[in-house]
Amino acid sequence: MNHDKSILLIIVQLLIMTGLVMMEMTNEPQGIFRGVLFTVLFIITAILLFMRFRFMVKLKGIVRALKRAIAGNVNTRLLTNDDPLFSEVIFSINELIEQLDKVKVQTIKSEAARKSLLSNISHDIRTPLTSIIGYVDALKDDIAVSREERQAYVEVISKKANALKDLIDEIFHLAKLDANEIPLKPELLDFAEIARESVIEFLPDLKKIDMKLEVSIPEEKCLIVADCLSLRRIINNMIKNAIQYGKDGKVLGIKLIENTKEYQLNIWDKGVGISKDDAAKVFERMYRTERSRNPLHGGSGLGLAIAKALVEKNAGRIWVESKPGIKTTFSFTLPKRNDS
Protein backbone atom coordinates (compact mmCIF):
# COMPACT_ATOMS: atom_id res chain seq x y z
CA MET A 1 0.00 0.00 0.00
CA ASN A 2 1.47 3.37 -0.84
CA HIS A 3 2.00 6.07 1.80
CA ASP A 4 -0.61 8.55 0.55
CA LYS A 5 -3.31 5.88 0.85
CA SER A 6 -2.23 4.96 4.36
CA ILE A 7 -2.39 8.62 5.42
CA LEU A 8 -5.84 8.86 3.87
CA LEU A 9 -6.90 5.81 5.85
CA ILE A 10 -5.59 7.26 9.08
CA ILE A 11 -7.45 10.51 8.41
CA VAL A 12 -10.68 8.57 7.73
CA GLN A 13 -10.07 6.62 10.93
CA LEU A 14 -9.71 9.92 12.83
CA LEU A 15 -12.92 11.32 11.35
CA ILE A 16 -14.91 8.19 12.24
CA MET A 17 -13.55 8.20 15.75
CA THR A 18 -14.38 11.89 16.18
CA GLY A 19 -17.97 11.10 15.04
CA LEU A 20 -18.15 8.21 17.50
CA VAL A 21 -16.98 10.43 20.32
CA MET A 22 -19.61 13.02 19.47
CA MET A 23 -22.36 10.36 19.29
CA GLU A 24 -21.19 8.82 22.56
CA MET A 25 -21.28 12.19 24.31
CA THR A 26 -24.76 13.02 23.13
CA ASN A 27 -26.37 9.55 23.70
CA GLU A 28 -24.57 8.35 26.84
CA PRO A 29 -23.17 11.25 28.82
CA GLN A 30 -22.18 8.94 31.74
CA GLY A 31 -19.92 6.70 29.66
CA ILE A 32 -16.69 8.22 31.06
CA PHE A 33 -14.70 4.98 30.64
CA ARG A 34 -15.56 4.78 26.95
CA GLY A 35 -14.73 8.46 26.63
CA VAL A 36 -11.23 7.84 28.06
CA LEU A 37 -10.75 4.88 25.73
CA PHE A 38 -11.68 6.96 22.74
CA THR A 39 -9.38 9.75 23.86
CA VAL A 40 -6.46 7.30 24.13
CA LEU A 41 -7.29 5.90 20.69
CA PHE A 42 -7.44 9.42 19.34
CA ILE A 43 -4.02 10.28 20.77
CA ILE A 44 -2.51 7.04 19.40
CA THR A 45 -3.90 7.76 15.97
CA ALA A 46 -2.57 11.31 16.10
CA ILE A 47 0.88 9.96 17.05
CA LEU A 48 0.69 7.48 14.17
CA LEU A 49 -0.14 10.29 11.81
CA PHE A 50 2.78 12.33 13.12
CA MET A 51 5.13 9.34 12.73
CA ARG A 52 3.91 8.77 9.20
CA PHE A 53 4.72 12.37 8.30
CA ARG A 54 8.19 12.08 9.80
CA PHE A 55 8.71 8.84 7.89
CA MET A 56 7.79 10.51 4.63
CA VAL A 57 10.04 13.50 5.29
CA LYS A 58 12.97 11.15 5.97
CA LEU A 59 12.16 9.07 2.92
CA LYS A 60 12.12 12.15 0.75
CA GLY A 61 15.53 13.10 2.21
CA ILE A 62 16.89 9.67 1.26
CA VAL A 63 15.46 9.91 -2.26
CA ARG A 64 16.97 13.39 -2.67
CA ALA A 65 20.39 12.14 -1.52
CA LEU A 66 20.20 9.10 -3.80
CA LYS A 67 19.31 11.33 -6.75
CA ARG A 68 22.30 13.53 -5.92
CA ALA A 69 24.56 10.44 -5.82
CA ILE A 70 23.14 9.12 -9.10
CA ALA A 71 23.69 12.54 -10.67
CA GLY A 72 27.39 12.21 -9.78
CA ASN A 73 27.75 13.89 -6.38
CA VAL A 74 29.24 10.88 -4.60
CA ASN A 75 30.32 13.00 -1.61
CA THR A 76 26.70 12.95 -0.45
CA ARG A 77 26.18 11.07 2.81
CA LEU A 78 22.96 10.52 4.78
CA LEU A 79 22.76 11.20 8.50
CA THR A 80 21.50 8.42 10.73
CA ASN A 81 18.86 9.05 13.37
CA ASP A 82 17.47 7.30 16.42
CA ASP A 83 15.18 4.97 14.44
CA PRO A 84 17.12 1.67 14.28
CA LEU A 85 15.38 0.49 11.10
CA PHE A 86 16.13 3.77 9.38
CA SER A 87 19.70 3.76 10.66
CA GLU A 88 20.26 0.36 9.07
CA VAL A 89 18.85 1.47 5.72
CA ILE A 90 20.82 4.72 5.83
CA PHE A 91 24.01 2.83 6.73
CA SER A 92 23.55 0.51 3.73
CA ILE A 93 22.81 3.42 1.41
CA ASN A 94 25.92 5.28 2.62
CA GLU A 95 27.94 2.13 2.00
CA LEU A 96 26.54 1.91 -1.53
CA ILE A 97 27.39 5.55 -2.20
CA GLU A 98 30.90 4.92 -0.89
CA GLN A 99 31.30 1.95 -3.25
CA LEU A 100 30.06 4.13 -6.10
CA ASP A 101 32.66 6.73 -5.12
CA LYS A 102 35.42 4.10 -5.19
CA VAL A 103 34.30 2.77 -8.58
CA LYS A 104 34.26 6.34 -9.92
CA VAL A 105 37.80 7.05 -8.69
CA GLN A 106 38.95 3.68 -10.05
CA THR A 107 37.40 4.40 -13.45
CA ILE A 108 39.14 7.78 -13.67
CA LYS A 109 42.44 6.16 -12.69
CA SER A 110 42.13 3.28 -15.18
CA GLU A 111 41.15 5.66 -17.94
CA ALA A 112 44.27 7.75 -17.25
CA ALA A 113 46.40 4.58 -17.04
CA ARG A 114 44.93 3.29 -20.32
CA LYS A 115 45.74 6.56 -22.10
CA SER A 116 49.30 6.70 -20.80
CA LEU A 117 49.80 3.00 -21.61
CA LEU A 118 48.63 3.54 -25.17
CA SER A 119 50.90 6.53 -25.66
CA ASN A 120 53.85 4.62 -24.14
CA ILE A 121 53.18 1.61 -26.34
CA SER A 122 52.97 3.67 -29.50
CA HIS A 123 56.13 5.56 -28.56
CA ASP A 124 58.01 2.32 -27.81
CA ILE A 125 56.93 0.78 -31.09
CA ARG A 126 57.44 3.87 -33.21
CA THR A 127 60.99 4.61 -31.98
CA PRO A 128 62.65 1.33 -33.06
CA LEU A 129 60.50 1.19 -36.20
CA THR A 130 61.66 4.66 -37.28
CA SER A 131 65.22 3.63 -36.73
CA ILE A 132 64.73 0.32 -38.63
CA ILE A 133 63.19 2.25 -41.54
CA GLY A 134 66.14 4.67 -41.47
CA TYR A 135 68.71 1.88 -41.68
CA VAL A 136 66.76 -0.01 -44.38
CA ASP A 137 66.54 3.20 -46.44
CA ALA A 138 70.26 3.74 -45.98
CA LEU A 139 70.94 0.21 -47.23
CA LYS A 140 68.54 0.69 -50.13
CA ASP A 141 70.22 3.92 -51.18
CA ASP A 142 73.67 2.38 -50.80
CA ILE A 143 74.67 4.96 -48.22
CA ALA A 144 76.78 2.39 -46.38
CA VAL A 145 79.91 2.12 -48.39
CA SER A 146 81.96 -0.70 -47.00
CA ARG A 147 80.84 -4.27 -46.46
CA GLU A 148 81.50 -3.92 -42.71
CA GLU A 149 79.31 -0.86 -42.56
CA ARG A 150 76.47 -2.68 -44.27
CA GLN A 151 76.94 -5.61 -41.90
CA ALA A 152 76.75 -3.22 -38.93
CA TYR A 153 73.52 -1.71 -40.30
CA VAL A 154 71.99 -5.16 -40.70
CA GLU A 155 72.96 -6.02 -37.15
CA VAL A 156 71.30 -2.89 -35.79
CA ILE A 157 68.16 -3.70 -37.79
CA SER A 158 68.14 -7.26 -36.48
CA LYS A 159 68.63 -6.09 -32.86
CA LYS A 160 65.89 -3.49 -33.07
CA ALA A 161 63.49 -5.87 -34.83
CA ASN A 162 64.07 -8.52 -32.14
CA ALA A 163 63.53 -5.98 -29.36
CA LEU A 164 60.31 -4.96 -31.07
CA LYS A 165 59.18 -8.56 -31.26
CA ASP A 166 59.97 -9.04 -27.54
CA LEU A 167 57.98 -5.92 -26.71
CA ILE A 168 54.97 -7.06 -28.72
CA ASP A 169 55.21 -10.52 -27.12
CA GLU A 170 55.16 -8.90 -23.66
CA ILE A 171 52.22 -6.63 -24.48
CA PHE A 172 50.37 -9.63 -25.83
CA HIS A 173 51.22 -11.70 -22.76
CA LEU A 174 49.94 -8.99 -20.42
CA ALA A 175 46.74 -8.52 -22.44
CA LYS A 176 46.12 -12.26 -22.26
CA LEU A 177 46.77 -12.27 -18.52
CA ASP A 178 44.24 -9.45 -18.13
CA ALA A 179 41.65 -11.34 -20.13
CA ASN A 180 42.32 -14.50 -18.12
CA GLU A 181 43.32 -16.27 -21.30
CA ILE A 182 46.48 -17.78 -19.92
CA PRO A 183 45.34 -20.86 -18.09
CA LEU A 184 47.46 -21.48 -15.01
CA LYS A 185 48.33 -25.06 -14.24
CA PRO A 186 48.76 -25.24 -10.47
CA GLU A 187 50.95 -28.20 -9.53
CA LEU A 188 53.06 -29.32 -6.62
CA LEU A 189 56.45 -27.63 -6.92
CA ASP A 190 59.63 -27.37 -4.96
CA PHE A 191 60.18 -23.59 -4.73
CA ALA A 192 63.81 -24.13 -3.64
CA GLU A 193 64.63 -26.27 -6.67
CA ILE A 194 63.06 -23.83 -9.13
CA ALA A 195 64.87 -20.87 -7.54
CA ARG A 196 68.17 -22.78 -7.79
CA GLU A 197 67.56 -23.77 -11.43
CA SER A 198 66.59 -20.20 -12.37
CA VAL A 199 69.71 -18.67 -10.93
CA ILE A 200 71.94 -21.28 -12.59
CA GLU A 201 70.73 -20.11 -16.01
CA PHE A 202 72.20 -16.68 -15.32
CA LEU A 203 75.66 -17.88 -14.24
CA PRO A 204 77.28 -17.16 -17.64
CA ASP A 205 75.84 -13.61 -17.68
CA LEU A 206 77.02 -12.99 -14.14
CA LYS A 207 80.49 -14.22 -14.98
CA LYS A 208 80.65 -11.97 -18.05
CA ILE A 209 80.04 -8.81 -16.01
CA ASP A 210 81.96 -10.07 -13.01
CA MET A 211 79.00 -10.01 -10.67
CA LYS A 212 79.26 -12.05 -7.47
CA LEU A 213 76.41 -14.34 -6.47
CA GLU A 214 75.15 -14.83 -2.90
CA VAL A 215 72.68 -17.67 -2.58
CA SER A 216 70.73 -18.71 0.47
CA ILE A 217 68.23 -21.39 -0.46
CA PRO A 218 67.28 -24.19 1.95
CA GLU A 219 68.52 -27.70 1.12
CA GLU A 220 65.18 -29.25 2.02
CA LYS A 221 62.09 -29.08 -0.17
CA CYS A 222 59.89 -25.98 -0.01
CA LEU A 223 56.58 -27.24 -1.31
CA ILE A 224 54.06 -24.93 -2.92
CA VAL A 225 51.17 -25.39 -5.33
CA ALA A 226 51.66 -22.92 -8.18
CA ASP A 227 51.97 -22.61 -11.92
CA CYS A 228 55.51 -23.57 -12.87
CA LEU A 229 55.83 -21.29 -15.92
CA SER A 230 54.61 -18.30 -13.91
CA LEU A 231 57.09 -18.98 -11.14
CA ARG A 232 60.04 -19.25 -13.54
CA ARG A 233 58.98 -16.10 -15.36
CA ILE A 234 58.65 -14.07 -12.14
CA ILE A 235 62.09 -15.13 -10.91
CA ASN A 236 63.68 -14.57 -14.34
CA ASN A 237 62.26 -11.04 -14.62
CA MET A 238 63.61 -10.13 -11.20
CA ILE A 239 67.07 -11.62 -11.74
CA LYS A 240 67.29 -9.94 -15.17
CA ASN A 241 66.45 -6.59 -13.57
CA ALA A 242 68.96 -7.06 -10.75
CA ILE A 243 71.64 -7.76 -13.36
CA GLN A 244 70.56 -5.02 -15.75
CA TYR A 245 70.06 -2.22 -13.23
CA GLY A 246 72.19 -3.39 -10.32
CA LYS A 247 75.36 -4.52 -12.03
CA ASP A 248 77.37 -1.58 -10.67
CA GLY A 249 76.91 -3.02 -7.18
CA LYS A 250 78.75 -6.15 -8.36
CA VAL A 251 76.68 -8.51 -6.28
CA LEU A 252 73.41 -10.35 -6.83
CA GLY A 253 71.66 -12.09 -3.95
CA ILE A 254 68.87 -14.63 -3.82
CA LYS A 255 67.34 -15.80 -0.57
CA LEU A 256 64.40 -18.11 0.05
CA ILE A 257 62.78 -17.65 3.45
CA GLU A 258 60.15 -19.83 5.14
CA ASN A 259 57.38 -17.84 6.86
CA THR A 260 54.45 -19.30 8.78
CA LYS A 261 52.06 -19.68 5.89
CA GLU A 262 54.15 -18.81 2.87
CA TYR A 263 57.59 -18.88 1.30
CA GLN A 264 59.26 -15.59 0.46
CA LEU A 265 61.89 -15.12 -2.22
CA ASN A 266 64.16 -12.07 -2.02
CA ILE A 267 66.27 -11.05 -5.00
CA TRP A 268 68.61 -8.21 -4.23
CA ASP A 269 71.41 -6.14 -5.65
CA LYS A 270 73.56 -3.26 -4.52
CA GLY A 271 73.19 -1.08 -7.59
CA VAL A 272 71.72 2.40 -8.13
CA GLY A 273 68.41 1.37 -6.60
CA ILE A 274 65.00 2.96 -6.79
CA SER A 275 63.79 6.19 -5.17
CA LYS A 276 60.77 6.13 -2.86
CA ASP A 277 58.55 7.73 -5.53
CA ASP A 278 59.62 5.26 -8.19
CA ALA A 279 59.24 2.29 -5.84
CA ALA A 280 55.51 2.96 -5.67
CA LYS A 281 55.27 2.86 -9.46
CA VAL A 282 57.69 0.26 -10.81
CA PHE A 283 54.99 -2.41 -10.91
CA GLU A 284 52.84 -0.23 -13.19
CA ARG A 285 52.76 -1.04 -16.86
CA MET A 286 55.52 0.58 -18.91
CA TYR A 287 56.87 2.53 -15.96
CA ARG A 288 60.61 3.05 -16.06
CA THR A 289 62.68 5.17 -13.75
CA GLU A 290 64.21 8.29 -15.30
CA ARG A 291 67.56 6.54 -15.69
CA SER A 292 66.18 3.47 -17.50
CA ARG A 293 64.33 5.58 -20.06
CA ASN A 294 67.78 6.01 -21.52
CA PRO A 295 67.87 3.68 -24.55
CA LEU A 296 71.18 2.28 -23.30
CA HIS A 297 69.54 0.76 -20.23
CA GLY A 298 65.99 0.59 -21.35
CA GLY A 299 63.58 -2.29 -21.31
CA SER A 300 59.92 -1.93 -22.05
CA GLY A 301 58.81 -1.47 -18.45
CA LEU A 302 56.50 -4.48 -18.60
CA GLY A 303 58.58 -7.11 -16.80
CA LEU A 304 57.49 -6.20 -13.27
CA ALA A 305 53.86 -5.60 -14.28
CA ILE A 306 53.81 -9.14 -15.67
CA ALA A 307 55.56 -10.48 -12.56
CA LYS A 308 52.97 -8.75 -10.32
CA ALA A 309 50.04 -10.11 -12.33
CA LEU A 310 51.50 -13.63 -12.19
CA VAL A 311 52.29 -13.47 -8.46
CA GLU A 312 48.76 -12.31 -7.68
CA LYS A 313 47.21 -14.96 -9.89
CA ASN A 314 49.17 -17.49 -7.86
CA ALA A 315 47.82 -16.04 -4.59
CA GLY A 316 50.99 -14.24 -3.58
CA ARG A 317 52.26 -10.70 -2.87
CA ILE A 318 55.09 -8.74 -4.45
CA TRP A 319 56.95 -5.61 -3.31
CA VAL A 320 60.24 -3.76 -3.42
CA GLU A 321 62.41 -2.14 -0.76
CA SER A 322 65.29 0.04 -1.82
CA LYS A 323 68.02 2.11 -0.25
CA PRO A 324 69.49 3.62 -3.42
CA GLY A 325 73.15 2.73 -3.82
CA ILE A 326 73.06 0.44 -0.79
CA LYS A 327 70.61 -2.40 -1.33
CA THR A 328 67.52 -3.01 -3.46
CA THR A 329 65.40 -6.04 -2.69
CA PHE A 330 62.50 -7.32 -4.76
CA SER A 331 60.43 -9.87 -2.83
CA PHE A 332 57.44 -12.04 -3.51
CA THR A 333 55.58 -14.68 -1.56
CA LEU A 334 53.66 -17.78 -2.50
CA PRO A 335 51.49 -19.74 -0.07
CA LYS A 336 52.84 -23.01 1.30
CA ARG A 337 51.11 -26.19 0.25
CA ASN A 338 48.17 -26.63 2.62
CA ASP A 339 49.39 -29.66 4.52
CA SER A 340 53.12 -28.85 4.54
Least distance from C-beta 274 to ligand ATP, angstroms?
Answer: 5
Instruction: List all residues 6 or more positions away from 20 whose beta carbon is below 8 Å from its beta carbon.
Output: 38
Q: Rule CB under 6 A: say whether 289 interacts with ligand ATP.
A: yes
Least distance from C-beta 85 to Mg ion, angstroms?
Answer: 56
Least distance from C-beta 256 to ligand ATP, angstroms?
Answer: 18
Site for ligand ATP in 243-272 (CB under 6 A): 245-246, 269, 271-272
> Which value, to the nearest 10 degrees, does the dihedral of the CA atoms of residues 306, 311, 317, 320 take?
-40
Site for Mg ion in 289-318 (CB under 5 A): 299, 303
> Which value, to the nearest 10 degrees, does the dihedral of the CA atoms of residues 61, 62, 66, 71 take?
0
In this chain, which of 76, 198, 230, 241 binds Mg ion, going by CB under 5 A?
A: 241
Site for ligand ATP in 71-100 (CB under 6 A): none
Least distance from C-beta 141 to ligand ATP, angstroms?
Answer: 33
> From CA 215, how far away is CA 262, in angstroms rounded?
19
In this chain, which of 76, 198, 230, 292 binds ligand ATP, going by CB under 6 A?
A: 292
Question: How many residues are there in the chain?
Answer: 340
| Residue 161 Cα to chain centre, angstroms | 33
> From CA 241, how far away is CA 304, in angstroms rounded?
9
**Residue 226's closest CA among 322, 62, 338?**
338
| x/- track of binding to ligand ATP for residues 140-179 (CB under 6 A) | ------------------------------x---------
Any long-range contacts for 79-82 (C-beta under 8 Å, 24+ apart)?
none
By CB under 5 A, name the binding residues for Mg ion.
241, 299, 303
By CB under 6 A, name the binding residues for ligand ATP.
170, 237, 241-242, 245-246, 269, 271-274, 282, 287-289, 292, 299-305, 328
